[in-house]
Amino acid sequence: METEEEFDDVFGSEPNVAYHEQALHAIQKHRRLLENELFFDRLLKAVGIDQASKLYPPHSNHDLRILFNRITSSASPDHQKQSLVYYLLRDLPSEASGAEAFAERSYLPDKYQTFIDGIWYLDRLKLERALDYLASPTLIPTFPDEILYTLCRHAPQNDSSLPLSYYHSVYPPLASAKVLCAFFERSCKASLTEAFYFSRCRGPLQHRPLFVELITFVHANSAGSARASRALELINLPFSDEEERWFEEFLNRGLGTTLYGAKDTLMMRKLAKGQVKEAVDLGSKLSGRKIDGLNWDILREGLRKGGTIQ
């Protein structure tokens, strides 16, 4: 794959084959949305081709030939070169690209075609279609953290099923704090209880920071009935003695004291554990406040009349 004749074999005999203006704009838009790095950029870098943003998308037939020659003259194995060319063919109008025919003619292994199909859709933020390919058990995970991060960032905010599905299919390493935090926030949105147990599985260095992030999420990223529901779920989680200490330290003396409803949550946790006297002592600082619509003064008086406290 090194000659001009091969370029014509791959892209057809039309001398001016090139990307349409609409495709160029769409690619540049998605690169910006993906923090200025497409997954195709990463693939080019992996075969030793730098400055991908200056080469892709090609703005003319001449630019396309330069990119093609850079790919085919690289020292990479043929199946990697063919995979990149297959990606380029997918960019062209379907009736003219011949991407499938090229894959068949070049004996591109199915797993490489599956991966490139997934990456191509991911670069266009067609997340559901991308996941159909990238979660395939036939693939060796490539860029798993980066893929998970993209799903966390761009999946609908009220639906975390795509990032969670990819995570449980591939189990990315979550090697960077950026990826771990993005995934943990999605986990909290999907299920506070599952996120709680996930934090326990991350080892001693990450357990406490994630546990604190769980508490922060409930108070800082929820509102109205959602906050009330999540707070109720939080105070009923089966904390260990160590987690109980972290919980109280964070909300009573740490940075969590500035969170809206921090003292309310502490008080309700004590009530949930049957520590009514301690809850009342804490609640005396909340005179006039409401918890899920119930005034604390009324709640305290009710406990007294019932003989629960003296």
> Does 94 or 292 have the greater pLDDT score?
94
> pLDDT grade, residue 309 (50/70/90)?
very low
Distance CA 88, CA 56 (A): 9
Q: How many CB atoms lie within 10 A of CB 169?
A: 16
Cα torsion 101, 103, 105, 110: sign: negative
- pLDDT at site 294: 46
Integer Cα distance of 77 and 55 in angstroms: 21
Do residues 134 and 161 lie in contact, with contact meaning Cβ atoms separated by under 8 Å? no
* Three-state secondary-structure class, residue 107: coil
Model confidence band, residue 287 (pLDDT cutoffs 50, 70, 90): very low
Q: Is the pLDDT of residue 310 over 50?
A: no
How much is the pLDDT for 302? 54
Query: Is the bond preceding 57 in cis, omega lying within 30 degrees of 0?
Result: yes
Please write the tens of the pLDDT for every residue from 124-166: 999 999 999 999 999 999 999 999 999 999 999 989 999 999 9
- What's the mean per-residue pLDDT of the chain? 87
Phi, psi of 164 (to 5 degrees): -70, -40
In this prediction, residues 226-238 reach a mean pLDDT of 88
pLDDT in tens, 37-81: 999 999 999 999 999 999 999 999 999 999 999 999 999 999 999
**pLDDT exceeds 70 at position 281:** no
Length reported for the chain? 310
Name the band, by pLDDT with cuts 50, 70 and 90, for residue 173.
very high
pLDDT surpassing 80 at residue 298: no
pTM of the model: 0.88
- Asked if residues 269 and 233 have their Cβ atoms less than 8 Å apart, the reply is no
Q: Which residues, 6 or more positions from 116, have their beta carbon under 8 angstroms from its beta carbon?
A: 83, 86, 87, 90
Residue 5 is which amino acid?
E
- How far apart CA 171 and CA 144 sit, in angstroms, is 8
Contact 207, 215 (CB under 8 A): no
Q: Where are the alpha helices (DSSP H) in 60-158?
A: 61-72, 78-91, 94-97, 99-105, 110-123, 127-134, 144-154
